[in-house]
Structure 1
Amino acid sequence: MLKNYLKIALRTLAQSKVYSVINITGLSIGLAAAMLIMLYTKDEVSYDGFHVNNPNIYRITFKSVNPAGVLENRSAITGYLPGPKFSAATPEIEAFTRFHQHRNDLKVGDQVTSQEVHQADRDFFKIFSFRLLSGNPLTALSQPRSVVISEETAEKHFGTVNALGKTMLFKDAFDENAAFEPFTVTGVAAKCPQNSSIQFEILQPLPVPESQMQGEAWFNSSLNTFVKLTPGADTTAVSATMNRIYQSDARDAMKAVAEKYGLKNKQYYALQPFTAIHLDPQLAAENGLVNGSKPLFSYVLSGIALFIMLIACINFVNLTVARSLKRAKEIGVRKVVGGGRYQLAAQFLGESFVLCFAAFVLAILLVESVLPTFNNLANKALSLSYLFDWQLIAAYIALFILTALLAGFYPAVVLSGYDPVKTLYSRFNFSGRNYLQKTLVVVQFALASFLIIVTLTMRSQFNFLTNMELGYDDRNLLSIEKQNLTRPEAKLLTEELLKNHSITAVSPKNGGQWGTTARINGGTDIEFSYETVGANYLSVLKIPLLQGRKLSGALATDSTKAILVNETFVKKAGWKKPLGQVVDFWYNPGEQYTVVGVVKDYHFQSLTSNIRPQLFTMKPGNVFGKVLIRIKPGTESASLGHIGKTFRKLFPLVPYSYQFIDEANVKSYESEAKWKQIMLFGAVLTIFISCIGLFGLATLAAERRTKEIGIRKVLGASVAGIVTLLSSDFVKLVALSFVVSFPAAYYAMQKWLENYPYKVEISAWIFLSASALSLVIALCTVSFQSVRTALMNPVKSLRSE
Structure 2
Amino acid sequence: MFKNYFKTAFRNFRRNKVYSIINILGLSLGLACGMLIILYVKDELSYDRFHAQVNQLYRIGMKRIKPDGSVESKGGFTGYFQGPRFTANIPEIQAFVRVQNNQRDIKNGTEIKSQEVHLVDSNFLSAFSFPLLSGNPKTALRDLHSVVITEEVARTLFGTKEALGKTIVIKNEEGQFVPHEVTGVAKKCPQNSSIKFNMLLPIEISKETEAQNMNWMNYFLSTFVVMAPGANPLAVEAKMKQVYEKDARESIKISAEQYGDDAATFYSLQPFTDIHLSEDYQATNGLTDASKPMYSYILSGIALFILLIACINFVNLTVARSLKRAKEIGIRKVIGGDRRQLMVQFLGESFILCFVAFVLAVLMVQLVLPIFNDLSNKALALSYLFDAKLIGIYIGLFIVTSLLAGFYPSLVLSAYSPVKTLYSRFTLAGKNYLQKSLVVLQFTLASFLIIATITIYAQFNYLTNEKLGYDDSNLVLANLPTIKASKTVLLKEELLKSPAIVDVACKNVGSWSTVAKVNGSTEISFAYETVTEPYIPLLQIPLIKGRSFSKDFPSDSTHSVVVNEAFAKKAGWANPIGQEVNFWYNKNEKYQVIGVVKDYHYAALTEKIKPQLFTMKPGNSLGLAFIKIKPDGATAALQHIEKTFKTFYPNSPYSYIFKDQENLKSYEAEARWKKIMLFGAVLTIFISCIGLFGLSVMSAEKRVKEIGIRKVLGATVGHVVTILSRDFLLLVTLALIISIPIAWVTANAWLANYPYRITVSWWMFALAGVLVAMVAMFTISFNALKAAVANPVKSLRSE
Q: TM-score, normalised by structure 1?
A: 0.99
| Aligned mate of 1:645, from 639, 643, 664 | 643
**Any conservation in 1 of the 2:484–2:618 contact (CA below 8 Å)?**
no
Deviations 1:338-370 (A, max 9, x none): 110111111110110000000000000000000
Query: Where do 5+ consecutive residues of structure 1 fail to align?
Result: none
Q: Which residue of 2 aligns with 1:187?
A: 184
Q: Which residue of 2 aligns with 1:725?
A: 723
Distance in 2 between the 1:286 and 1:75 partners? 9
Q: How far is 1:793 from its partner?
A: 1.0
Task: Map residues 170-319 of structure 1 onto 2, 5 A cutoff.
Answer: 170-172=170-172, 175=173, 177-213=174-210, 214-319=212-317
Q: Which residue of 1 aligns with 2:412?
A: 414
Q: Which residue of 1 aligns with 2:370?
A: 372
Distance in 2 between the 1:542 and 1:166 partners? 51
Distance in 1 between the 2:507 and 2:751 partners? 33
Distance in 2 between the 1:72 and 1:532 partners? 24
Distance in 2 between the 1:531 and 1:71 partners? 25
**Any conservation in 2 of the 1:239–1:269 contact (CA below 8 Å)?**
yes
- 2:93 is the alignment partner of 1:88: no
Q: Which residue of 1 aligns with 2:433?
A: 435
Q: Which residue of 2 aligns with 1:153?
A: 153
**Any conservation in 2 of the 1:243–1:268 contact (CA below 8 Å)?**
yes
Q: How far is 1:326 from its partner?
A: 1.2
Q: Give the letter for the 1:171 counterpart.
A: K
Q: How far is 1:486 from its partner?
A: 2.3
Distance in 2 between the 1:517 and 1:449 partners? 50
Q: Give the letter for the 1:526 counterpart.
A: I
Q: How far is 1:552 from its partner?
A: 1.4
Distance in 2 between the 1:65 and 1:384 partners? 47
Task: Map residues 787-798 of structure 1 onto 2, 5 A cutoff.
Answer: 787-798=785-796
CA RMSD of aligned residues (A): 1.0
**Any conservation in 1 of the 2:385–2:391 contact (CA below 8 Å)?**
no
Distance in 1 between the 2:90 and 2:340 partners? 67
Q: Which residue of 2 aligns with 1:569?
A: 567
Q: Give the letter for the 1:209 counterpart.
A: S
Deviations 1:655-687 (A, max 9, x none): 111110001111110000000000000000000
Q: Give the letter for the 1:519 counterpart.
A: K
Q: Which residue of 1 aligns with 2:143?
A: 143
Q: How far is 1:201 from its partner?
A: 0.5
Distance in 2 between the 1:761 and 1:378 partners? 27
Task: Map residues 62-101 of structure 1 onto 2, 5 A cutoff.
Answer: 62-101=62-101
**Any conservation in 2 of the 1:450–1:742 contact (CA below 8 Å)?**
yes
**Any conservation in 1 of the 2:479–2:655 contact (CA below 8 Å)?**
yes
Distance in 1 between the 2:554 and 2:275 partners? 50
**Any conservation in 2 of the 1:81–1:218 contact (CA below 8 Å)?**
yes
Q: Which residue of 1 aligns with 2:169?
A: 169
Q: Which residue of 2 aligns with 1:118?
A: 118
Q: How far is 1:70 from its partner?
A: 4.1
Q: How far is 1:555 from its partner?
A: 2.0
Task: Map residues 321-336 of structure 1 onto 2, 5 A cutoff.
Answer: 321-336=319-334
The SS at the match of 1:627 is strand
| Aligned mate of 1:502, from 481, 500, 503 | 500
- 2:629 is the alignment partner of 1:631: yes
Q: Give the letter for the 1:196 counterpart.
A: S
Q: Give the letter for the 2:559 counterpart.
A: K
**Any conservation in 1 of the 2:96–2:226 contact (CA below 8 Å)?**
yes
**Any conservation in 2 of the 1:94–1:227 contact (CA below 8 Å)?**
yes
The SS at the match of 2:756 is coil
Distance in 2 between the 1:408 and 1:246 partners? 64
Q: Which residue of 1 aligns with 2:27?
A: 27
**Any conservation in 2 of the 1:211–1:217 contact (CA below 8 Å)?**
no
Q: How far is 1:71 from its partner?
A: 3.7
**Any conservation in 2 of the 1:56–1:231 contact (CA below 8 Å)?**
yes
Task: Map residues 26-65 of structure 1 onto 2, 5 A cutoff.
Answer: 26-65=26-65
**Any conservation in 1 of the 2:646–2:654 contact (CA below 8 Å)?**
yes
**Any conservation in 1 of the 2:581–2:592 contact (CA below 8 Å)?**
yes
Task: Map residues 752-771 of structure 1 onto 2, 5 A cutoff.
Answer: 752-771=750-769
Distance in 1 between the 2:66 and 2:600 partners? 32
Distance in 2 between the 1:743 and 1:561 partners? 57
Q: Give the letter for the 2:143 counterpart.
A: Q
Deviations 1:65-118 (A, max 9, x none): 223444433221100001111111222212211001011111111111111111
The 4+ residue runs of structure 1 with deviation greater than 4 A are none
The SS at the match of 1:22 is helix
Higher mean alpha-carbon deviation, 637-646 vs 550-559, is at 550-559
Distance in 1 between the 2:259 and 2:72 partners? 17
Q: How far is 1:11 from its partner?
A: 1.2
Distance in 1 between the 2:78 and 2:707 partners? 78
Deviations 1:140-169 (A, max 9, x none): 110101000000000000011111111111
Q: Give the letter for the 1:589 counterpart.
A: K
- 2:352 is the alignment partner of 1:354: yes
Q: Which residue of 1 aligns with 2:700?
A: 702
Distance in 1 between the 2:738 and 2:72 partners? 42
Q: Give the letter for the 2:434 counterpart.
A: L
- 2:634 is the alignment partner of 1:668: no
Question: Among the aligned pairs, what percent are the same residue?
Answer: 57
Distance in 2 between the 1:768 and 1:751 partners? 20
Task: Map residues 422-461 of structure 1 onto 2, 5 A cutoff.
Answer: 422-461=420-459
Q: How far is 1:15 from its partner?
A: 0.9
Higher mean alpha-carbon deviation, 249-258 vs 729-738, is at 249-258
Q: How far is 1:211 from its partner?
A: 4.4
Distance in 2 between the 1:100 and 1:254 partners? 24
Higher mean alpha-carbon deviation, 237-246 vs 771-780, is at 237-246
Q: Which residue of 1 aligns with 2:619?
A: 621
**Any conservation in 1 of the 2:134–2:164 contact (CA below 8 Å)?**
yes
**Any conservation in 2 of the 1:30–1:308 contact (CA below 8 Å)?**
yes
Distance in 2 between the 1:252 and 1:507 partners? 42
The SS at the match of 1:271 is strand
Q: Give the letter for the 2:371 counterpart.
A: T
**Any conservation in 2 of the 1:81–1:212 contact (CA below 8 Å)?**
no
Distance in 2 between the 1:384 and 1:509 partners? 47
Task: Map residues 683-698 of structure 1 onto 2, 5 A cutoff.
Answer: 683-698=681-696
Q: Give the letter for the 2:170 counterpart.
A: F
The SS at the match of 1:550 is coil
Q: How far is 1:458 from its partner?
A: 0.3
Distance in 1 between the 2:726 and 2:533 partners? 70
Q: Which residue of 2 aligns with 1:608?
A: 606
Q: Give the letter for the 2:86 counterpart.
A: F
Q: Give the letter for the 1:248 counterpart.
A: K
Task: Map residues 451-600 of structure 1 onto 2, 5 A cutoff.
Answer: 451-600=449-598
Q: Give the letter for the 1:276 counterpart.
A: D
Distance in 2 between the 1:477 and 1:800 partners? 79
Q: Give the letter for the 1:670 counterpart.
A: E
The SS at the match of 2:631 is coil
Q: How far is 1:387 from its partner?
A: 4.8
The SS at the match of 2:60 is strand
Q: Give the letter for the 1:167 counterpart.
A: T
Distance in 1 between the 2:557 and 2:575 partners? 22
Distance in 1 between the 2:798 and 2:687 partners? 32
Distance in 2 between the 1:297 and 1:768 partners? 28
Distance in 1 between the 2:615 and 2:65 partners? 32
Distance in 1 between the 2:798 and 2:194 partners? 69
Deviations 1:703-760 (A, max 9, x none): 1111111111111111111111111111111001012100111111111001100000
